[in-house]
Amino acid sequence: MSAFPFSGINLAITTPFDTQGNIDYARFETLIEGYIAAGVHGFVLSSGTGMHVYLSKEESKELVAFGAKAIAGRARVIAQTSALLVEDVLERTRHAADCGADGVMVLPPFFEGPTDDQGIVDFYTTVCQAGLPVIGYNVPQAVGVEVTPALFGKLSEIPNFVSVKDSSGDLAAQASLIRTDLPTMNGADPLAPYALYAGAAGLIWGGANMAPRTCVAFVNAAMERQWERAREIWRELEPVMSLIWQGDYVQSVYAGAQLSGYGAGNPRRPLARLSAEKLEVLKAALDPLASREAGLA
């Protein structure tokens, strides 16, 4: 492992729901145990893949508390504490600290929030006062704010601001962040091998819910600079990771995880389960990977 505190795979774990749409904590604990056994290096609780925007503040806080207790120091814990109000972000972040989280991931201000660099710097300066390491989040297609290399440099001067997760899906844009030599985390599934080869500091990976052992083997090989081995494993991962990035991402991860034995139920409304047609396409792409995954158990 590198000196960066969030290197390797940080699994953006799904949040399981029961048939009534409530969080299924018994299943959540089972999933955590399975992923720890698979060797994941860390967890992101209440992630985007984990339906953060469709959890109430209290649900998200309860999920973080339960997850951190279940993980119990066996892997690192990152909590997403994004919210519209900066006061809510601070409250959630302090709660995550109280629960023993190692860091938090926070979106820049969204839904008509500030888009100028100084406004973003001011926002993260406030968030970083909560005391935990903060990972910023670059997903301009969703929030309308792009973390450029220049902005990344300014943010990195803030005490406790440690990294940016790039989920833009733009390889050139991510490479420009990595070239700053500041710790950049990849959050775009199809870019994982390119990001690691270019020098990404770590990954926050939703698609790994479907094949954690294979993803861990791939990342470990890359971190050990066994590039031929990493490329061999990536050939198994690439068809699925590219497919889910093309649309219905969260629904696809839930469906794929169900198919591979890491089921979390269905996504919470308003997201619907994956259509039958898309499920068949996903299953066809996933079958070879699922067989490989089963062989690693």
Cβ-proximal residues to 195 (8 Å cutoff; 6+ apart), any chain: 174, 178, 184, 186, 188, 203
Does the pLDDT at position 287 exceed 50? yes
Give the angle 8-11-16 at the CA atoms, nearest 5°: 170
Q: Give 110-141 pLDDT, tens digit per residue.
A: 877 777 899 999 999 999 999 999 999 999 88
Q: Give 207-250 pLDDT, tens digit per residue.
A: 999 999 999 999 999 999 999 999 999 999 999 999 999 989 99
- Supply the pTM of this predicted model: 0.95
Catalytic residue numbers read: 137, 165
Domains of the chain: 9-296 (3.20.20.70)
pLDDT value for 1:
41
Cβ count within 10 A of residue 79: 32
Cβ count within 10 A of residue 288: 13
- Give the model's confidence band at 293: pLDDT under 50 very low, under 70 low, under 90 confident, else very high: confident
Q: Give 179-218 pLDDT, tens digit per residue.
A: 999 999 999 999 999 999 999 999 999 999 999 999 999 9
Q: What is the mean pLDDT of residues 15-37?
A: 96
Mean pLDDT over the full length of the chain: 95
pLDDT value for 2:
53
